């Protein structure tokens, strides 16, 4: 492989890597393994982020449909991860490629030291020619089972390994202006250069009974990747040869084009964007929104119009504009009770209030702890 090999992160949804009622889709994984070999010949490393553990484990344990209770979901994930990992190992080994299993939870990545260890381990695996297969540790990660977040995990992994492209293989060929399964007038969108409120609104729910994510999580993840300067693609997992065609620069699915080339965003800011779930949010007025987006300013209490959720200083917050659109994410300098009292107040008012004096001269979110999305 060329010394300057590129890295492609491929996220595979449950509906792609499994077959209804039977478990793992061996033929798909075999095809992926052969395509990984072709990618190597084209100068690309491959990192796989794979859903499907629960769907693979359910038939083994006698469930005809996805169970509803949490202990059963965890049991299915535990059994299914073995089935899924064995399938990847056997099919890739048959093509001369080694795989590894990397299980992550949001709890792991929320701790910065663990985040950095995960980065180092994944980077070394790629350097050694291994194809890492990454998944949520659904056996213990209760929130991830409930909400499904492998799209965000794929974005996280893409940033960890400094990927050149992140591809989501889905049960749909890309982004549409509306949900094509219910709207006959929905139009395919081949290219997105900015994710705005209209793009977010066009995302429909997942059409799959085995997956837990939907188009909205894919769009949000693509937005974070655009912020990091990493192109991403959503395309159909049934489209044979799609990865190799993408590696050759061909048009496949919907391409999300970042506004700039890949940049060295501080790892801390990527951790803020991806490593932990938001514990609350603040809404800001138009002036504060412009200051954040156009000037890279800190967020001052005077620009806050509303505070939602219960959080403490040091927690991660979403920052919303007047229309409710998330434009940034950052680490709170104060808890929700303090910020509710300080919201809309000038610094001199804060300094004169003995309940808020700890915030005097300090922002609500410092710009060093704030990432503004593309």
- 6 appears as a binding residue in the annotation: no
- 64 appears as a binding residue in the annotation: no
Is the Cβ–Cβ distance between 73 and 61 less than 8 Å?
A: no
Do 331 and 211 lie in a common domain?
no
Is the Cβ–Cβ distance between 161 and 47 less than 8 Å?
A: yes
In a domain, 212, yes or no: yes
Residue spans of alpha helices (H) in the chain: 14-17, 26-41, 53-60, 70-93, 106-110, 112-127, 142-147, 150-160, 197-202, 215-227, 242-247, 267-274, 286-295, 336-342, 347-351
Do 81 and 225 lie in a common domain?
yes
Do 126 and 69 lie in a common domain?
yes
- 215 appears as a binding residue in the annotation: yes
- 241 appears as a binding residue in the annotation: no
Closest residue by Cα to residue 306 from 288, 292, 294: 288
In a domain, 137, yes or no: yes
Do 235 and 321 lie in a common domain?
no
In a domain, 217, yes or no: yes
In a domain, 273, yes or no: no
Do 96 and 195 lie in a common domain?
yes
Is the Cβ–Cβ distance between 253 and 235 less than 8 Å?
A: yes
Do 242 and 302 lie in a common domain?
no
Please report the pLDDT score of residue 112 as a whole number.
74
Do 348 and 324 lie in a common domain?
yes
Do 253 and 287 lie in a common domain?
no
- 304 appears as a binding residue in the annotation: no
In a domain, 272, yes or no: no
- 51 appears as a binding residue in the annotation: yes
Mean pLDDT by 10 residues, the chain (374 residues): 80 90 90 97 97 92 90 92 96 98 79 83 96 85 52 89 94 87 89 88 54 71 90 94 96 92 70 80 97 94 96 94 93 94 90 83 92 88
- Write down which residue in 267, 298, 322 finishes a domain: 267
User: What is the number of domains present in the chain?
Assistant: 2
Do 232 and 99 lie in a common domain?
yes
Please report the pLDDT score of residue 212 as a whole number.
40
Do 245 and 286 lie in a common domain?
no
- Write down which residue in 267, 287, 316 finishes a domain: 267
- 276 appears as a binding residue in the annotation: no
Please tell me the pTM assigned to this model. Answer: 0.85
- Write down which residue in 213, 243, 267 finishes a domain: 267
Concatenated DSSP letters for 220-274? HHHHHHHHTT--EEEEETTSTTHHHHHHTT---SEEE--SSS-----HHHHHHHH
Do 212 and 360 lie in a common domain?
no
In a domain, 126, yes or no: yes
Residue 352: which CATH number?
A: 2.30.130.10
- 269 appears as a binding residue in the annotation: no
Residue 166: which CATH number?
A: 3.40.1160.10
Do 241 and 343 lie in a common domain?
no
- 194 appears as a binding residue in the annotation: no
In a domain, 361, yes or no: yes
In a domain, 187, yes or no: yes
Q: Show the domain range for 361.
A: 278-372
């Amino acid at each position: 492989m060329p010394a300057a090999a590129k890295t492609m992160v491929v996220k595979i949804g449950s509906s792609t890597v499994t077959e209804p009622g039977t478990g793992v889709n061996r033929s798909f994984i075999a095809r992926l393994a052969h395509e990984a070999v072709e990618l190597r010949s084209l100068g690309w490393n491959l990192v796989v982020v794979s859903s499907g553990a629960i769907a693979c484990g359910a038939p083994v344990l006698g469930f005809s449909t996805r169970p509803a209770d949490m202990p059963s979901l965890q049991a299915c994930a535990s059994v299914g991860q073995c089935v899924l990992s064995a399938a990847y190992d056997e099919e890739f080994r048959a093509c001369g490629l080694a795989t590894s299993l990397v299980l992550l939870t949001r709890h792991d990545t929320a701790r910065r030291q663990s985040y950095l260890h995960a980065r180092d381990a994944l980077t070394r695996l790629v350097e050694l020619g291994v194809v890492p297969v990454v998944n949520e540790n659904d056996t213990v990660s209760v929130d991830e089972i409930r909400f499904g977040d492998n799209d965000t995990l794929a974005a996280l992994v893409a940033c960890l390994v400094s990927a050149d492209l992140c591809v989501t293989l889905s049960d749909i060929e890309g982004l549409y202006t509306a949900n094509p399964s219910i709207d006959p007038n929905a139009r395919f969108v081949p290219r997105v250069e900015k994710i705005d409120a209209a793009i977010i609104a066009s995302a429909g729910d997942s059409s799959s009974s085995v997956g837990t994510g939907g188009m909205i999580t894919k769009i949000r993840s693509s937005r974070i990747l655009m912020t990091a300067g990493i192109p991403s693609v959503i395309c159909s997992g049934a489209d044979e040869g799609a990865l190799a065609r993408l590696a050759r620069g061909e048009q496949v699915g919907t391409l999300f084009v970042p506004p700039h080339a890949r940049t060295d965003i501080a790892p801390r800011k990527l951790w803020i964007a991806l490593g932990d779930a938001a514990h609350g949010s603040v809404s800001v007025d138009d002036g504060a929104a412009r200051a954040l987006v156009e000037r890279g300013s800190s967020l001052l209490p005077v620009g806050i119009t509303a505070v939602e959720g219960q959080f403490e200083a040091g927690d991660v917050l979403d920052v919303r504009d007047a229309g409710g659109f998330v434009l940034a994410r950052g680490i709170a300098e104060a808890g929700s009770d303090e910020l509710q009292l300080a919201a809309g107040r000038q610094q001199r008012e804060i300094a004169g209030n003995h309940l808020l004096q700890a915030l005097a001269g300090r922002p609500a979110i410092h710009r060093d702890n704030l990432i503004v999305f593309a």
